[in-house]
Amino acid sequence: QLRFAESGGGLVQPGESLRLSCEVPALPLDYYAIGWFRQAPGKEREGVSCISTSDGSTLYADSVKGRFTTSRDYAKKTVYLQMNSLKPEDTAVYFCAVNLVRSICVVPQRHEYGYWGQGTQVTVSS
C-alpha cells in the first residue's frame, strides 16, 4: 500500500527552526503535487504548502508565507518543509500527501489528497 512517511518533528522554542522530511513512495503518476498539511488538537486538518513536479511551482498558506519553504530532492525522493521563525500556533501534527485530482498547486484541499502518512509532531513552546 502506498503511503508517505514524515519525519523531523520535535519540540522547539518560539523563533527556532525545524526541517520536516517526507519520503515519497513510487507513485503511479507522471506528474503530481505534494502537499503539507497540519492538524492541531481539536481543529480541522489544514493545508500548509504545496509543491508541483508538473510546473515546479509552490504555494503557501497565508499563515506560514515568508516563514516556511517547501522543496524537493528528486534523487532522494524526498520533499522537505523548512520551517523558520516558528510560533506556538504552529504546534500540530504535520502530514504530507499527494493530490489525486491535479498535478499543479492550488490552495490545498484535504479531500483532493491521498496516501497520507502517520504524521510528525511539531511542538513550539517556551
pLDDT in tens, 53-64: 888 899 999 999
Mean per-residue pLDDT of the chain: 93
Residues 6+ apart with CB under 8 A from 126: 13, 14
Instruction: Say if CB 22 and CB 80 are below 8 A apart.
Output: yes
Give the count of beta carbons closer than 10 Å to the beta carbon of residue 58.
16
Q: Looking at residue 31, what is its pLDDT?
A: 84
Percent of the chain with pLDDT over 90: 78
Closest CA to 25 of 54, 2, 51: 2
Q: Looking at residue 119, what is its pLDDT?
A: 96
State pLDDT tens for residues 70-108. Answer: 999 888 889 999 999 999 999 999 999 999 999 999 888
